[in-house]
Structure 1
């Protein structure tokens, strides 16, 4: 039986918009998706962890990009949320959450493309590329589209 989503909390999380000097966004193709699903690095906040620290941890875990290869530019003013679609509700995160409540961070990548190493200990992405904001919006799974719209709008002045 699918749980009532209104009875479930949001999982606290972070997202990272990593841009290159041209304002293009890092997009990773999810390794666990049968169709081409591109997204930006994102993940949960550990118990007691501050959002910005979680963002840098997730960036390393998902892209191999270390904090000495990025420059902090901005963060979202508040939290943004997304709800899981019915087919995922009760299946991901042990069925404990209805979606995520995320704080997003914008970082400029100051390294070389060779510093991106998606073959991490627990890989999330099978490939990656730099893309314009409009292509990122067109490439995200539908249930995260409204969230990505808000994030891109918040950081639009920095994006190609």
Structure 2
């Protein structure tokens, strides 16, 4: 069995994407049988900065081109979460205990038709726009506090209600 304490955190970029109405993008994960919604996120490649990774992930996960987004804010510092014990050693080839994430808030400049989940390596089976305040209750429980922290960080740029 893998000892979680011996594993590092996976470097990752996360994106809160807001539409013109101030609603946040969430996608329903394709790789789970439970209803699991999340915002786009993904690993930071070696030699890549976090913002470059964030924009790349938007293209890879939801088909959104860089010219369809504008940066609103970057969270200071990083957010961490640990995988539940039953997932340690099962995901990411067993190399990580969880993730350390740098988060970005982007405005979506495109139309809904610019979002395309049929990417070469699909991650989501469906998507929708939600009130940012609803994000923590949509995410899997082990990421709930992270989402609450991201919301608190970006609260000055959000209309939550």
Shorter-chain-normalised TM-score: which range?
over 0.9
| Structure 2 SS opposite 1:29 | strand
Q: In the alignment, is residue 112 of structure 1 matched against residue 111 of structure 2?
A: yes
Separation of aligned partners in 2, 1:61 and 1:70: 14
Separation of aligned partners in 2, 1:35 and 1:159: 29
- 1:8 Cα deviation (Å)? 0.8
Separation of aligned partners in 1, 2:155 and 2:25: 15
- For the 8 Å contact 1:132–1:159, the answer to whether it is kept is no
Indicate the residue corresponding to 1:102 in structure 2. Answer: 101
- 1:21 Cα deviation (Å)? 1.2
Indicate the residue corresponding to 2:78 in structure 1. Answer: 79
- For the 8 Å contact 1:15–1:105, the answer to whether it is kept is yes
- 1:36 Cα deviation (Å)? 1.1
> Per-residue CA shift, 1:39-92, capped at 9, x if unaligned?
000010001111100000001000101110011010110011000001100111
Indicate the residue corresponding to 1:20 in structure 2. Answer: 19
- 1:135 Cα deviation (Å)? 1.7
* TM-score normalised by the chain length of structure 2: 0.96
Indicate the residue corresponding to 1:140 in structure 2. Answer: 139
Runs of 5+ unmatched residues, structure 1: none
Separation of aligned partners in 2, 1:34 and 1:4: 26
* TM-score normalised by the chain length of structure 1: 0.97
- 1:156 Cα deviation (Å)? 1.6
